[in-house]
Amino acid sequence: MSLSIETQTLMAYIDGELEAAECQQVEQALDAQPQLRQQYDQLSQLDGLLGAALSPALQGVQPELDSSKPAQHSQAWWQRLLQPCWWRQFGVVMAWRAGGATALLVMGVLIGSGYERQAQQKALVAQQQQLQHVIDQALETRLSGDSMLWGDGAGSITPVRTYRSRHGQFCREFVFHGGDAVIVDARGGVACRDEQGWQIKAHYYL
């Protein structure tokens, strides 16, 4: 007996979309045709793989849904129209009065800003060095999937994959979570280990 089962029918069987009589027909064909059975297994396995691949979205704490935003949009048109008027007028008066004081402040800030900029740059360099140290530590000591916190727990780095390059170097892919965007503007990267330690080869910005 040779039953010709179309791929879409086989898929409909897997998806539970066939009537009992059609199911029986497919099952007979599956018993009789090893190749069809193999394709059935492949398709069934694919569904399992898809579910497993996307399961990280189900795991962990879900981000809190913010229900406050629609409340602003749900105001009536006349409310939206009226609301800004009074504070705009008030704001214009206050802005003129504040203008003189602001000008004085700006002069003072400009004088001090040179020193401040230098201090900021120093702090940034120190933070970058600290980050590099954490990257080295995480890539050296953590298994793939294990995170290391940095910046007082504000961010973390997680090695996600390890492989050996064609030059024999160990390389690891890693991702950043959270953290200060000034210090870490990338989402992750790849680093390879040489005699000096872990050298970052690429950053991901997607």
Partner 1 sequence: MNRSRSQTIQSIVALQPRLRRFAYGLSGSMDEADDLVQSAFERALQRLDQWQQGTRIDSWMYRIVQTGWLNRLRAGRVRGEHLASVELEEQGSDRSQRQTEAQMLLDKVRHCIQKLPPDQRAPLLLISVEGLSYKEASEVLDIPVGTLTSRLARGRVALLVMMEPTTATGLNEAGSVKPQSNQRQSRSDSGVVI
What is the contact surface with partner 1 in residues (CB under 8 A)? 4-8, 10-12, 15-17, 33, 35-36, 38-39, 42-43, 46-47, 49-58, 62-63, 65-67, 69-70, 73-74, 143-145, 160-166, 170, 173, 175, 188, 190, 204, 206
Rank residues 61 and 104 by Cβ distance to partner 1 and give the closer one: 61
Q: How far is CA 161 from the centre of its chain?
A: 16
Q: Minimum distance between the CB of residue 164 and partner 1, rounded to whole angstroms?
A: 4
Residue found by looking up tokens 């793989």 in the block: 49
Q: Minimum distance between the CB of residue 108 and partner 1, rounded to whole angstroms?
A: 41
Do 173 and 161 form a contact (C-beta atoms < 8 A)? yes
Q: Minimum distance between the CB of residue 141 and partner 1, rounded to whole angstroms?
A: 10
Rank residues 36 and 131 by Cβ distance to partner 1 and give the closer one: 36
3-state secondary structure of 62: coil
Rank residues 87 and 204 by Cβ distance to partner 1 and give the closer one: 204
Q: Minimum distance between the CB of residue 189 and partner 1, rounded to whole angstroms?
A: 9
Single-letter code of the amino acid located at 38: Q
Rank residues 149 and 203 by Cβ distance to partner 1 and give the closer one: 203
Q: Who's near 138: CB < 8 A, 6+ residues apart?
A: 147, 148, 157, 158, 159, 174
Single-letter code of the amino acid located at 20: A
Among 178, 185, 177, 174, smallest CA distance to 128 is for 185
The Cα 135–Cα 158 span in angstroms is 9
